[in-house]
Amino acid sequence: MTNERSEGQAAMLTMVGVSHRNAPLSVRERFAISGEALPDVRHEVAERFGSGAIVATCNRLELYVPGEHEPGELAGFLCEAAGADPELAERYLLPRRDAEAVSHLYAVAAGIDSMVIGESEILGQVRSSFAATVAAGADTALLSRLFHTAIRLGRRARTETAIGHGALSISSIAAQQARELTADPAGAAVLVVGAGEAGRLAAASLVDHGIGSIAVSNRTESRAEALAEELGGRSVPYGSLGAELSAADVVIAATDAPEPVLNSGRVAGALVRREGAPQLIIDIGVPRACDPGIAAIPGVTYRDIDDLQEIAATHAHARAAEVQAVERLVEEETGRFLEWWEHLQVAPTIAALSERAEQLRQGELERTLRRLDLDEGERERVEAMTKALVRRILHDPIAALRERGDRDVYVDAVRHLFRLDEPADPPAAP
């Protein structure tokens, strides 16, 4: 879909973002903003731009701001918020405007821009992103319609196509890898580091498939206890993580800490205490929860989120036909959104034109009726005739404003021809 605007046309939306589509994990983790910091960042969006929505997941960081903005300004803001090198912005923070930005968010909500095609978690993340935008006072009518239609489209995609049937997710792929790469899944001890949504989903999938035992550790002990209770496991104090690590056959690391919580020294020490027993570590954190150097430790099998992408790519290939079906829905809904936006732009001119015509009609009617000796019924018939005449005269100009693709040209012409930006002339004296 084209992203061009004719000269003078009002800008609708500016967006910049980075995702797994265009950046490796080593770059995406530089743009990660912790869940604790996001509320303040969203308030800063409202202060800096007046309005704007951030969509932040493990594989993307995107900022949508209504109106005309320099993409470099939005990119600079995200760099500041994430503490990223501004030089990375030029290479990886891709700009989109207007129709392209709208269709992109629709594709995200529909699950066809995800690393795992059709995954359902993203729809809830889009919904939560807009709820947080509202809470920060950074929403507008445009953002409200944009996100609500995106959420509605996400539901349509999953009910009208098979894009979500049997869909995987990063968390479920992590659990799948844990089952496949562990010699005895039913007897395996699993340690989950991080009690966020990604860790919870991965651990829940393992429990559903009969994994041996689950231990949960988190910086906030109450969250670890709540998740452990939900999973039928046990919580581990964060300070005892090192000792627990040596007992774990599988580690699911899913924190959003700015620095790795599992480094090579800690993992190597755990392997010594394991007396040669292998260990699988699956890191689905962004930024990574583990030092990638642990992959070189003998006995450790290490997978990060990008390592899981090969499995996701195989899944995507099998869903190519469904992706095409969803893309048609995205195009359809994007067209509807643009029609709404264009109508929103032309509506004030139509209202002003109708109001100007009504002022002229009433002025001339009053002057004429003062000169005529008419009874009440005759006066009503004359008034009805003038109203009908004005409607007939305005019908074609208003239809052209609503229907023509070059509406902005017509809007300018109508406002000039009917002097809609000037005060109305006083009615002529009788």
Tell me the two tokens of residue 369: 């009726």
Of the candidates 145, 175, 322, which has an alpha carbon nearest to the alpha carbon of residue 251?
175
How do strand 13-19 and strand 94-97 relate by DSSP bridges? antiparallel
Q: What is the maximum alpha-carbon separation in the chain?
A: 112
Q: What is the pLDDT of residue 10?
A: 57
Q: What is the pLDDT of residue 8?
A: 41
Burial (Cβ within 10 Å: 0-12, 13-18, ≥19) of residue 186: exposed
Q: What is the mean pLDDT of residues 182-200?
A: 88
Q: What is the pLDDT of residue 211?
A: 85
Contact 171, 201 (CB under 8 A): yes
Contact 108, 54 (CB under 8 A): no
Is 290 designated active site?
A: no
| Structure-token match 């800690």, residue found | 266
Q: What is the pLDDT of residue 406?
A: 60
Q: What is the mean pLDDT of residues 273-295?
A: 91
pLDDT at 371 over 50: yes
Q: What is the pLDDT of residue 404?
A: 64
Q: What is the pLDDT of residue 246?
A: 92
Tell me the two tokens of residue 342: 């264009």
61-65, 167-171, 271-275, 348-352: the lowest-pLDDT one: 167-171
**Active-site entry in 15, 33, 53, 58:** 58
Q: What is the mean pLDDT of residues 313-336?
A: 88
Q: What is the pLDDT of residue 4?
A: 45
78-82, 190-194, 398-402: the lowest-pLDDT one: 398-402
Candidate ranges 28-42, 206-220, 300-314, 341-355; pick with highest mean pLDDT: 28-42
pLDDT at 1 over 50: no
